[in-house]
Each structure stands twice: as structure tokens, then as C-alpha cells.
Amino acid sequence: MPRIVEVSHHDIFRHPEHCVNQIAARRVASGEIVAVFNEERFPFHHDSGQTLLVRSADGGITWSAPEIVLPWSETEGNWDCGFCELADGTWLVNLTITGFFKRGIRPEGVSWSAHPHTPEWGDWTWAYKLQGWLGTYVLRSTDRGRSWSRPIPVNVRPMKHGGCRLGCWQLPDGGILMGLYGRIRGYEEEGEGESTRSALVRSDDGGFNWEYYSTLAYDPASIVDYEEPALMRLADGRLVCTMRTHVNPSGDAKNLVVTVSEDDGFSWSPPRWTDIWGYPSEMIALQDGRYLMVYGYRRPPYGVRGCISEDGVTWKRANEFVIREGGVPGRAAAEKPGSSRMSPWSGKIGSGAIDWHHPGVYQHIGYPSVVQNADGTITCLYHEWSEDERPLQYVRCTRFRLAD
């Protein structure tokens, strides 16, 4: 089993009132680590915030103050962001935009639902009912993030919904691939009688225009959902992709799957199950010729884990190691409204005392991203919950070296 040494943990950003989460990073040509993540507009996870960017010039030990890439407004929010530096130095941020925050005309009488309701945010029945996915977009910067273009809409058709997870990947021929997951017949992330597919869209003009390129994985029986694809190029030129999976109708999370392309992503092998449980994942090629995958672990003892592969295709739990344990608060006294992924009739979540087996909303941890620095150290970035009376998600990183 691989071992890690010289381990240190570093805060990236904590907001005093809002949750921050779902960070994605790349090491750019200057040697800096550049990361983007979501700042929620509320003290709970709701996929309704804005995209922030931070930088580290020392391999993740210290971080710059967050800069806003795309701010929220009263009627729009954005999240699920990723970052990529193109060969010509252009920075590309991909994200999704949601809209709903005008709550309509309030009824004169009593609302049909008494909650979710909090003194701070009022009746969140309205927010849930009126939220809608507006689309996938990219923003371009030619001055290293000092300024950004207007959001450029990404054509995800024939899918009606295309969720992001990580940044784009540029091919040797200059084409840009973006990994998405969604549906052809439905706009939501789950249900609607159709399982989720993972797919690639491609741009050949620097991110201005996009089109559907290939299907990574899809189950026509609508039993297995394939979500949040992570791509990596192998030393021999093949592309490999790992994906998070869930099964219907339970929605239970299953093991990661892997698929391989020998033609720069135009076609893919059938998905093959690994024996690794955890999600979502990201992979990188290491300086020593091996490959590293990181992924969240939402079972006791929780946290973030990694796995080493000699060939980038064969991933075995025997080569798994722990990067971080924990991230779920031991106790939470505050009551919280349901998130955007919970129905309005779910009502309040009386958190109270929680334990490892019943973390409630606090199971939403991880979403790791990883880079290797010039000196060989590895920086893994992720989010977890604070131990405050009202826990808040924050972003942090773990630096380490592989012992062998």
C-alpha cells in the first residue's frame, strides 16, 4: 500500500457566513497553482452562488485572497466551476448558471408549505420551486485572470442539461474537450425516466464554439447513472476517464468506472467497474511515470483518499491510501432548510447531534482536485465542514510526498 510523508494541511479560504465548496485546480505555466471554487450565498449548500479564484505561488502553503470570476445577481447564480490554461496562455473557466431568485408574487394567504423556513431566509419553498438550470458557459481571460470575458454559452445539444465537474482538457491538436453529464430528454440532474450520461463536448476555436463530440458512458436501461467525468492523457497518448456512478431507483452510490479512448476521445471502450468506492475523482500523471487518482470518501471515517496506478487504466483498492480523514462535524445544533437537491416538503433539517453513520447534509464533503508541484510534492484540494455550532463548508488542501 502506498504511503505518504511530509504531510501538512492548509486552509485555502473560509467565509464567516457562507459555505464554500467544490474546488478545482491546475498548475499553470508560471508554476503557480490556480484554483476556482463556489461561494454559496447562504450558510448551507444550495448551488446558487458565485465563482471565486485563488492562487498559490508556494505549492499550496499560502493562498491569495479570492477574486470573483463571475458574480451572482438577484436573479442568477453560478457553480460547478473548472479551470484550464490553454497552450497560448489563455485561461478558461467553465461553469453552470442557474436562475430563479425572483420568488414571484407572494400569496396573500398562507403558503401551501410551512417550510423550509428560517428567520434569515424566509420560506425556501419559493426558491426551490423557481430554480432552473440556464446552461453551461465558459469565460476566457487573456491577462491571467485580471479580467474575464462575458459568459460564452456552451452548446450541449442534443443534451438538455450538461453539468460540469472539472476544468477542460486541451488536446495536442489544439482542440479543447469539456466533460459533462446530463440528459437528452430532461433538464434536471436526476429522475425524469432517463439515466444520466457522461459526454464530451469539443471546441476547436479556443472556447468560443462547442459541439457534442462523444459519449463517455450511458446505460439505455436507465439503471446506472454515469456522472462527473475525469479525463487524463496517458504516456502512450491514450485518454482514460473515470466516472462516478449511482444506480436507480435507489440512487445509491456504486464504485468508480473507467473507460479508455485510443482516438483522442472520439470513441470509448465500454465502462469497466473498478473495486474502488468513492466519488467524485480526478487523475494526474506523476513525474515518476505513475498515475494518481484522488476521490472523496463519504463513509466512516470520511475524508479524501488517493490511489496509485502503474498504467493509468488499472485501478485497485489495494493501492489506496488516506489523504485526509474526517470533514464531517461531530455535532451540529442549528436547524437548516433543505438544499436545492431536496424537495420543499422535506421541511427543516433538525440536525442536533449527528454521528458517523447519520451525517445528514454534512455528508457533502470532498470533491477533490490534485496537482503535482515542480519539486515533486503533491497538493490535494477539497472541501469539508467546520466544527462550529453552525457548521460551514470551507476549502483547504493537503500537501504530501509519496514515500515510494
Query: What is the C-alpha separation between 254 and 256, in angstroms, rounded?
Result: 7
pLDDT attached to residue 343: 46
Return the C-alpha torsion angle 172, 379, 57, 391, nearest 10: 120
Q: Is 57 helix (H, G, I), strand (E, B) or coil?
A: coil
Query: Identity (one letter) of the amino acid at 57?
Result: A
pLDDT attached to residue 185: 87
Phi-psi map region of 187: left, alpha, beta (phi>0 left; psi -120 to 50 alpha): alpha
Number of domain units in the chain: 1
Which stretches of 86-166 are assigned E, i.e. beta strand? 91-99, 117-118, 122-123, 132-141, 152-153, 161-163
Q: Which residue matches cell numbers 474575464? A: 148
The CA-CA-CA angle for residues 372, 378, 382, to 5°, reads 105
Query: What is the C-alpha separation between 374 and 177, in angstroms, rounded?
Result: 25
Q: Is 319 helix (H, G, I), strand (E, B) or coil?
A: helix
Query: What is the C-alpha separation between 13 and 122, in angstroms, rounded?
Result: 28
161's CB contacts (< 8 A; 6+ apart) are 133, 182, 183, 186, 187, 188, 189
> Taking a C-beta distance cutoff of 8 angstroms, is the pair 45, 364 a contact?
yes
Q: Is 326 helix (H, G, I), strand (E, B) or coil?
A: coil
Q: Which residue matches cell numbers 444520466? A: 196
pLDDT attached to residue 103: 59
Query: What is the C-alpha separation between 94 and 81, in angstroms, rounded?
Result: 5
> Taking a C-beta distance cutoff of 8 angstroms, is the pair 154, 133 a contact?
no
The three cell numbers of residue 283 are 487523475
Query: What is the C-alpha separation between 63 and 55, in angstroms, rounded?
Result: 6
Domain that holds residue 153: 4-402
pTM of this prediction?
Answer: 0.91
> Taking a C-beta distance cutoff of 8 angstroms, is the pair 68, 50 a contact?
yes
The three cell numbers of residue 255 are 464504485
Query: Identity (one letter) of the amino acid at 3?
Result: R
In the predicted model, residues of the chain with pLDDT beneath 70 are 101-130, 189-191, 331-358
CATH number of the domain within which 18 lies: 2.120.10.10
Query: What is the C-alpha separation between 403 and 377, in angstroms, rounded?
Result: 11
The total number of residues shown for the chain amounts to 404
Q: DSSP letter string over 185-241?
A: S-SSSS-TT---EEEEEEESSSSS--EEEEEEE--TTS-EEEEEEEEEE-TTS-EEE
